[in-house]
Amino acid sequence: MSTTAGYPVYRIENKMTMPDPDMPTPRYHNMIFIETWEDGYKSGRTYHVIGDMVTGMTYNTRIDQDPELDKMFVAKHLLGTINVSDYPDRVNEILEALPAPGKQKSFNVKTMRTEQHKSPGVFYEPGEERPPMVKCTEWTLNQAIPALVDSGVLIKLMEP
């Protein structure tokens, strides 16, 4: 259901299906949800990256029901609105252009475990500083939301 300003945009947090033991916890799957009511009460479209750090992640979008009905639902944060004219094409164009997190871990035959790597086959030495790994949360918070704001598509709520 659109308002005079457009569709409401939320950041959704869901429990992880399989938490990564190398990432701090608690950690949630983060995604953007635009509530349009196009497929029923409080339905809309989800925008996120899916996959893992061993195979890499890919951009994904889908029509979804009310996120609060998902058994993995944790939280819903209102970000602002988008104009009806920017949905879904302009939103998808912006988000599809962002790089999805790539492969960041692989199996190390020397240690017999999956570890963060510099590039596939080149592992960090013990004690060597490692950059933070990037997953859905970082993609959503540090890339997707800022890109939508910077483009003028996401009209953020006024700060109090």
Residue 5: the pLDDT is: 64
List the domain range (segments joined by +) for residue 85. 7-156
On the CB side of 100, CA atoms within 13 Å amount to 18
Burial group, residue 90, by CB count within 10 angstroms (0-12, 13-18, 19+): middle
Q: Reading across the β-sheet that carries 155-156, which strands appear in turn?
A: 56-64, 44-52, 28-35, 7-15, 73-82, 155-156
The torsion defined by the Cα of 22, 148, 102 and 46, in degrees rounded to 10, comes to: 70
Mind listing the pLDDT tens digit for each residue in 36-69? 999 999 999 999 999 999 999 999 999 999 999 9
In a domain, residue 46? The reply is yes
DSSP 23-75: S-SS-EEEEEEEE--BTBTT-EEEEEEEEETTTEEEEEEEEE--GGGSTTEEE
In a domain, residue 2? The reply is no
* 26 confidence band (pLDDT: 50, 70, 90): confident
Residue 104: the pLDDT is: 96
* 1 confidence band (pLDDT: 50, 70, 90): low
Residue 18: the pLDDT is: 82
In a domain, residue 1? The reply is no
Residue 114: the pLDDT is: 92
Q: Which residues pair with 28 in a beta bridge?
A: 15
Overall average pLDDT of the 81-91 stretch: 97
Place of tokens 């800022």: 146
pTM over 0.85: yes
In a domain, residue 95? The reply is yes
Which has the higher per-residue pLDDT, 20 or 124?
124
In a domain, residue 105? The reply is yes
In a domain, residue 32? The reply is yes
* 81 confidence band (pLDDT: 50, 70, 90): very high
The tally of domains found in the chain comes to 1
Q: Which two tokens stand for residue 137?
A: 């949360």
In a domain, residue 38? The reply is yes
Give me the phi and psi of 143, to 5 degrees please: -120, -60
Mind listing the pLDDT tens digit for each residue in 87-145? 999 999 999 999 999 999 999 999 999 999 998 889 999 999 999 999 999 999 999 99
Does the pLDDT of residue 3 top 80, yes or no?
no
Judged by DSSP in three states, 118 sits in strand
| Backbone φ/ψ region at 21: left (φ over 0), alpha (ψ -120 to 50), beta | alpha
